[in-house]
C-alpha cells in the first residue's frame, strides 16, 4: 500500500496561506513548520542580543535595523525562515522584490548578521539553516546555544554553552566557538564589547 506524499508548498503558496493567528511558521523545503512557543529564557537572550547590536550599529551610525517579524527566503530550496534576530541593511531593501508586500528578504546584501538562539529543534540551526544561510551568502551567522542543547561534536563533552560565530570565507562558513568569558569576535562589529558569558547570563 502506497501513501500519497504530502503536497509541497511554494513560497508564494506559503505566504498566501500564512494565518494571522499570532503563531510563527517557517517553510522548510516546501513543508510548513509551526515554531514552538519560545521560553522566557529564550526571549531574554534575544532581547539582550538585539540591544547589544542596536547600541553598536547606532554608535557607528549604520543604516541598520532589527524588524519585529520578517522572513529570510533561501535561494534554491523552497524555504523561508523567521530568524530570532535579523539585522537588516535598510539601504538595500529597495532592491528586495518581496519586502514591501511580504516583509521578506532574499538578498545577502540585506542581511549583515542573522542570529538563531538554539532551542529544542537545534538540528535546524546547526544543519539546515547553517547550510541555507551559507548558500545565500549571509556574511555572518551566530548560533547562540546558551542552554547547551546541540550535539557534543559541536559543543564538547560534557556539553558547554557555546556561541558560534560563522563567518563566510570564500563561500563557506568558518565556525568559531566562544565559551565562558571569551570575548566575542564579530566580523561586522570588531569593536563589539561582549563576552559569551554575558549572553549566557542574560538567560538567568
pLDDT, tens only, 135-173: 999 999 999 999 999 999 999 999 999 999 999 999 999
C-alpha dihedral (101, 102, 107, 109), degrees to nearest 10: 70
Could you tell me which residue, 5 or 183, shows the higher pLDDT? 183
Quote the pTM value: 0.93
5: confidence class by pLDDT, cuts 50, 70, 90: low
| Cα 119 from Cα 57, distance rounded (Å) | 27
**Residue 114 and residue 138 in contact, taking contact as beta carbons nearer than 8 Å:** yes
| Per-residue pLDDT, 121 | 87
| Cα 122 from Cα 2, distance rounded (Å) | 32
| Per-residue pLDDT, 202 | 96
Q: Omega of the bond prior to 162 within 30 degrees of 0, cis?
A: no
Helix spans in the chain (H)? 11-17, 40-59, 99-102, 122-123, 129-136, 152-155, 196-201
* C-alpha count within 13 angstroms, C-beta hemisphere, residue 17: 17
| Per-residue pLDDT, 11 | 92
Amino acid at each position: 500500500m502506497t501513501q500519497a506524499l504530502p503536497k509541497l508548498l511554494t513560497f508564494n503558496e506559503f505566504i498566501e496561506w500564512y494565518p494571522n493567528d499570532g503563531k510563527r511558521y517557517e517553510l522548510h523545503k516546501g513543508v510548513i513548520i509551526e515554531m514552538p512557543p519560545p521560553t522566557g529564557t529564550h526571549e531574554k537572550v534575544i532581547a539582550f542580543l538585539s540591544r547589544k547590536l542596536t547600541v553598536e550599529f547606532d554608535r557607528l551610525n549604520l543604516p541598520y535595523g532589527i524588524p519585529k517579524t520578517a522572513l529570510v527566503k533561501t535561494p534554491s530550496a523552497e524555504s523561508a525562515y523567521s530568524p530570532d534576530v535579523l539585522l537588516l541593511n535598510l539601504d538595500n531593501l529597495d532592491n528586495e522584490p518581496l519586502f514591501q508586500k511580504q516583509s521578506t528578504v532574499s538578498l545577502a546584501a540585506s542581511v549583515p548578521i542573522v542570529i538563531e538562539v538554539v532551542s529544542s529543534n537545534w538540528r535546524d540551526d546547526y544543519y539546515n539553516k547553517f547550510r541555507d544561510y551559507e548558500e545565500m551568502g549571509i556574511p555572518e551567522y551566530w548560533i547562540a546555544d546558551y542552554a547547551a542543547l546541540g550535539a557534543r561534536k559541536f559543543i564538547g563533552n560534557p556539553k558547554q554553552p557555546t556561541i558560534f560565530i560563522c563567518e563566510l570565507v570564500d563561500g563557506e562558513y568558518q565556525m568559531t566557538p566562544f565559551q565562558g568569558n571569551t570575548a566575542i569576535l564579530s566580523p561586522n562589529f570588531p569593536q563589539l564589547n561582549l563576552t559569551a558569558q554575558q549572553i549566557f547570563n542574560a538567560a538567568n
